[in-house]
Structure 1
C-alpha cells in the first residue's frame, strides 16, 4: 500500500480514501493554469482537493471543489481544513451535471474519465453509462453553463484525445487559447496535453513541456513550473 498522504511545501494531501491519488497530471494542471486574474475558481472532480489547494496557494481567489464521490469529498474537506486557506476553499459533494454554484471566471478539471482510451462519442457515452463517469460532452456542457462570458477553462487530457476534445468544445463555442504538449523526455511522443479554452476565437499559443531532460533528471522548465510545491525543489 502506498503512502496515505503526500506532503507539499505549504500543505499536505491525504488521499487514502480517494480513487484519484496525487499524481503528476494534477500537479501540472494546478501549476500551469493562469490564475493571475482569477477571483472565483471551480475545480471539477476535485478528488482529494489537490488542485483546489494549489490554486489557493497561487492566488487570492475563492476556490470551490466539486466531487461526486462521498468519501473523496469528505477527505478533500479534511485536507482543506488542515490547510492555510480553509477560509477561501470549499468542497461540495455534487454531480457536476446538476451543480448550481453560480458563475466562475476560472474552471479546471483533471477528472478520471479522461484516463479511458475511448474518444468516440457513442463508445464513451456507453462507458459512462456503466461506470458513472462523465463524457466529454457532459463536462463541456457543465463548463458552458458555469463559466463567465470572459472566463477560461483549463484541462489536462491524453494527447490522443486532444483533437476530439477540441472539436467537441468548438461545437459549444469554446476555443483553445493555450496548448502545452507534455513529453516525458525529449524525442518521446507527448503523453498529455494541457489546454486552456475560452469563448473567444484567438490564435492558440502552443509550446512543449519536457518533464525529464534525461532519465531521472528533471528539466529546468519542469522544475520552474512546480518548484513552489514539490519539496524536492
Structure 2
C-alpha cells in the first residue's frame, strides 16, 4: 500500500465514512455528507441499512484501495454519478456512460409536462399514444415518462432516437432495469433521419450550450459530460433549428411538442417556432419553469384541426 493510501487506511466501515466526509468537507464539496455515504456504500457494496448494520466491521486491504480510488476521483471533481455509474432521475435509477449526459433534476419538469399532455390526449384517443424522444441519450426522459404512464394506465408506444450507438445501448439497459421495454424502442438516427411516422407527443432535450461556453461550465459538466450532447453550435440553437424546421412532417393533429431549453432561451426558441409555423395550424406556445423558477420547457400544442 502506498504511503498516501496507508495514511488513509480505513479500519472500519464507520471510520471510512467519517474519513471521506472529513476530506470532502475540507475540499468544500457542499454535498460532503451525502457523497461520503454513497461512495462508502458503493466501495464496500453496502446499502444505507448495511452501512449502519455493519458500521463496526473491518475494512479489507482491497476495500481500502477501492475507497481511496473513489475518494480521489471525487476530490478531482468527478461527479458521484460518474464514479458509481448510476444516477437517480424521477425516482428511478439510470445507468450512465461517457456517451450520455448526467440526468439532472431540472429535466423532471419536462417529464411532468409530457405527462400532463398525455393525460389530456388519452381522453380523446383510444389507441396507444405515440411518443418520440429526439436525442434520447440515457433514455431518462422517455423511460421516466413511460414508467409514469404505466402507473396511470395510459397506454404509450415510445421511440427514442440518438446518433450515438453507445448512448442507445445504455438507454436499452435503462428501459429493462425500469420495466418499460415493452412500451419503448430505441433506434439510431440523426434527429428525424430514420424516423418515418407521426407522433402525438414529441419531446427533446437537445444540445443547447453555445460551443464557446462549454469549457467555462462547471468541471463536473465540461470534463465528464458528452461534448456531442452539450454542443448546440455557435449560438446554442442549431439542434432546435433542425428539429423545428421538420416538425410539421412528424406531429399528429392535436399533438404536443416539448423542448427542454437553457434558462435564457425561451424567447429564442419560441421565435424559431413562430418563424416555421406562420400559417394555420394554430399553435399554443407556453413556457414551463423548473424548480428554481427558471424557464426550462417550451411547450407547443397543435390545434386538433392542423
TM-score scaled to structure 2, two decimals?
A: 0.54
Is 1:180 aligned to 2:288, yes or no? yes
Normalized per residue, which structure has more strand? 1
The Cα of 1:97 is off from its aligned counterpart by 3.7
Q: After superposition, where does 1:52-201 map in structure 2 within 5 Å? A: 52-59=142-149, 60-111=155-206, 113-116=207-210, 134-173=238-277, 175-182=283-290, 184=292, 190-200=293-303
Structure-2 change in CA distance of 1:73 and 1:142 (3 Å): farther
Is 1:12 aligned to 2:87, yes or no? no
Unaligned runs of 5+ in 1: 119-126, 185-189, 202-233
Structure-2 change in CA distance of 1:61 and 1:74 (3 Å): same
Partner of 2:102: 21
The Cα of 1:144 is off from its aligned counterpart by 2.1
Structure-2 change in CA distance of 1:83 and 1:193 (3 Å): closer
Structure-2 change in CA distance of 1:94 and 1:171 (3 Å): same
The Cα of 1:8 is off from its aligned counterpart by 5.4
Q: How many equivalent residue pairs? A: 185
RMSD over equivalenced CA pairs, Å: 2.7
Q: What SS is found at the alignment partner of 2:264?
A: helix
In 1: Cα distance, 2:233 partner to 2:289 partner: 30
Unaligned runs of 5+ in 2: 1-77, 123-128, 150-154, 213-230
In 1: Cα distance, 2:168 partner to 2:142 partner: 12
The Cα of 1:176 is off from its aligned counterpart by 3.6
Partner of 1:204: none
Normalized per residue, which structure has more helix? 2
CA contact (8 A) 1:11 1:84 kept: no
TM-score scaled to structure 1, two decimals?
A: 0.69
CA contact (8 A) 1:55 1:63 kept: no
Runs of 4+ in structure 1 off by over 6 angstroms are none
In 2: Cα distance, 1:148 partner to 1:182 partner: 27
In 1: Cα distance, 2:90 partner to 2:240 partner: 33
Partner of 1:228: none
**Structure number with larger C-alpha Rg:** 2
The Cα of 1:152 is off from its aligned counterpart by 0.6
CA contact (8 A) 1:17 1:75 kept: no
Q: Which has the higher contact order (CA 8 A, sep 6+)?
A: 1
CA contact (8 A) 2:146 2:156 kept: yes
The Cα of 1:9 is off from its aligned counterpart by 7.3
Q: What SS is found at the alignment partner of 2:261?
A: strand
Deviations 1:91-113 (A, max 9, x none): 111111413231100001111x2
In 2: Cα distance, 1:88 partner to 1:166 partner: 31
Q: What SS is found at the alignment partner of 1:137?
A: helix
CA contact (8 A) 1:64 1:91 kept: yes
